[in-house]
Amino acid sequence: MGKQNRTHPAGAATAAVHGAQISAEGFDALATPVYRGSSTFFPNTAAQRAKVDVLGLDYTYGLHGNPTQYTLAQRLADIEGAQHCLLCPSGLNAIVLVAMAVLKTGSHWLIPGNVYNPVHALAVRLKADFNIAFDVYDPLDLDALENLIRPETQLLWAEAPGSITYEVPDLTRLLQIASSKNLLTAIDNTWSAGLTYKPFGTDGAAQPSFDFSIQALTKYQCGHADVLMGAVLSSNTLAFAEVEKRNRAYGVGVSPEDCALVLRGLLTLPLRYKAQGNAALEIAQWLQSQPEVGKVLHPALAECPGHVHFKAHFTGSASVFSILLKSEYGDIHACRFVDSLQIFKIAYSWGGPESLALAGILPADRLSQILDGNGSLVRLAIGLEDVADLKADLRQALDAMKEVNTNQE
């Protein structure tokens, strides 16, 4: 390092704290720096006392934001076509913030029957704690949905495709219904990663769009199964400001190191999403021909409910789907199948490089609605391994499954 002319602080302790900081001018690289810090310095008292703009770059305290965090938020907004983005510690936290920003005591909201199960658990908790009512609607029966709307209904929640069972509703009509009733709308758009479904529209004001999109960045945006994070995205400035206010009031923040990891993941997001999605579709089509499989629940396949809406709304598919074993195979068989897999790991989440499997992760009432003469359910998440190796692993596990002594049930 070349010699620099600078004034040395008087003492060693002062020098350790207030010594020179090397300028970054002239250094340029792809990676966004990790900006750590709790105290954020103000140039003067006037700046420290200035009114906070919750929608601006608020460099007042480390909990509220830093350049690493705001860079990630802007890139996510650009990918999904949103005006605003708020980072959260998890996808579930993003869901909770939206619900708490919109719903008040005495209000009512609607959630789909195929919703991510923690959303249903949240609705039950909000009803018990704050007298916030909810109803569950069939995402494939929007005529019935209209009959559930009350004068106090504030929020219509959607998930596309639905969790575990992967039905896709008519999102255009759902938004039209909400618009006609002046309801705010939110969609869990994690499955598309903001790439293959655009919840904020592409044709201006010609069609209604969602007020909020929720992303679990834990999945594809991170892509390496080592970060928990979520995001709320919106182009409704007034509604988004209410979410941001709740976020500050509740003291919610994210780590700049985690933001840097997700930023790194974004560099390969479209490539990974496409590769894993293509592999999953190939495996799903192959599973249709396996004699032990009764049905494959993948929205890109015609046999999956809502397939026609998937074709209308989505430009590609993700890497997670479910299968229903044939009726002679019960839960004990599904567990043996999953336990016999050698490449697939048993774990929650998806979107990382490793393939995952889970047996029977639906509440009994939901499972009974979709079986239609089939047997137990297994969810598969396809990673980045060779497709031929994954097929071979699935095939040997299906063979092992048939060796189960059914007298053990």
Assign 3-state DSSP to the chain and report helix, strand, coil percentages, each to 5. 40, 15, 45
256 and 214 in one domain? yes
Whether omega before 118 lies within 30 degrees of 0, making that bond cis, reads no
**CA nearest neighbour of 223 among 169, 182, 271:** 271
Q: What DSSP letter does each residue of 97-158 carry, written as one string?
A: HHHHHH--TT-EEEEETTS-HHHHHHHHHHHHHH--EEEEE-TT-HHHHHHH--TTEEEEEE
- Asked whether residue 90 falls in the same domain as residue 110, the answer is yes
CB 279, CB 319: distance < 8 Å: yes
With respect to residue 26, please indicate whether it lies within any of the assigned structural domains. Answer: no
| CA neighbours closer than 13 Å in the CB half-sphere of residue 23 | 5
State residue 409's pLDDT score.
Answer: 45
d(CA 201, CA 213): 12
Strand order in the sheet with 230-234: 84-88, 230-234, 212-216, 184-188, 153-159, 108-112, 133-137
Residues 301, 242 within the same domain: no
Over the range 238-264, which residues count as b (16 or more CB within 10 Å of their CB) and which as e? ebbbbbbebbeeeebbbbbebbbbbbb
Phi-psi group of 194: left, alpha or beta (phi > 0 → left; psi -120 to 50 → alpha; rest → beta): left
pLDDT of residue 203 exceeding 60, the answer is no
For residue 98, being part of any structural domain is answered with yes
Tokens describing residue 142: 């929007």
45: tokens are 């008292």
**For residue 369, is pLDDT > 50?**
yes
For residues 314-341, give the mean pLDDT.
Answer: 96
In a domain, 20, yes or no: no
| Distance in angstroms (rounded) separating the CA atoms of residues 87 and 108 | 26
User: Residue 2 above 50 pLDDT?
Assistant: no
**Structural domain contains residue 40:** no
Residues 213-236 pLDDT 10s: 999 999 999 999 999 999 999 999
Tell me, what CATH number does 82's domain have? 3.40.640.10
pLDDT mean over 76-96? 97
Asked, for residue 2, whether it belongs to a domain, the answer is: no
Distance separating alpha carbons of residues 256 and 41, to the nearest angstrom: 17
Nearest Cα to Cα of residue 175 among 120, 232, 133, 213: 213
Counting residues of the chain whose pLDDT is more than 70, the rounded percentage is 95
Does 262 have pLDDT greater than 70?
Answer: yes
Same domain (yes/no): 257, 276? no
pLDDT score of 205: 45
Q: What is the pLDDT of residue 407?
A: 55
Q: Using DSSP bridges, classify how beta strands 377-381 and 356-359 pair: parallel, antiparallel or unpaired.
A: antiparallel
Which pTM was predicted? 0.92
**119 and 260 both lie in a single domain:** yes
The predicted pLDDT at position 356 comes to 98
Same domain, 281 and 395: yes
The structural domain count of the chain equals 2
DSSP state of 406: G
- What pLDDT digit, counting tens, does each position of 6-16 carry? 566 678 887 77
Residue 231 and residue 154 share a domain: yes
Question: In this structure, what CATH number is given to the domain that contains residue 333?
Answer: 3.90.1150.10
Q: What is the pLDDT of residue 207?
A: 64
Give the tens place of pLDDT for each residue, 373-407. Answer: 788 999 999 999 999 999 999 999 999 999 987 65
Lowest mean pLDDT among 126-135, 170-179, 202-211, 285-294: 202-211
Other CB atoms closer than 10 Å to residue 346's CB: what's the count?
12
pLDDT tens sequence across 246-260: 999 999 999 999 999
Residues 192 and 299 in one domain: no
Domain stops at, among 216, 241, 266: 266
Residue 253 inside a domain? The answer is: yes
Tell me, what's the pLDDT at 322? Answer: 97
Q: Are residues 285 and 154 in the same domain?
A: no
In a domain, 162, yes or no: yes
Return d(Cα 157, Cα 68) in angstroms, integer: 31
Render pLDDT for 347-357 as a digit per residue (tens, 0 to 9): 999 999 999 99
The verdict on 259 and 289 lying in the same domain is no
Name the domain boundary from 213, 245, 266: 266
Handedness of CA 56, 60, 62, 67 (dihedral sign): positive
Closest listed residue to residue 304, CA positions, set 116, 317, 362, 329 = 317
Domain carrying residue 298: 269-404
Could you tell me the two tokens for 374? 């089939």
Which tops the pLDDT comparison, 228 or 52?
228
- Please identify, among 222, 251, 266, the residue that sits at the C-terminal boundary of a domain: 266
All residues at 6 or more sequence positions from 169 whose CB lies less than 8 Å from its CB, including other chains: 112, 139, 140, 142, 158, 160, 306, 309
Same domain, 253 and 217: yes
With respect to residue 351, please indicate whether it lies within any of the assigned structural domains. Answer: yes
**Range of weakest confidence among 44-53, 106-115, 237-246:** 44-53
Query: Is residue 231 located within the same domain as residue 317?
Result: no
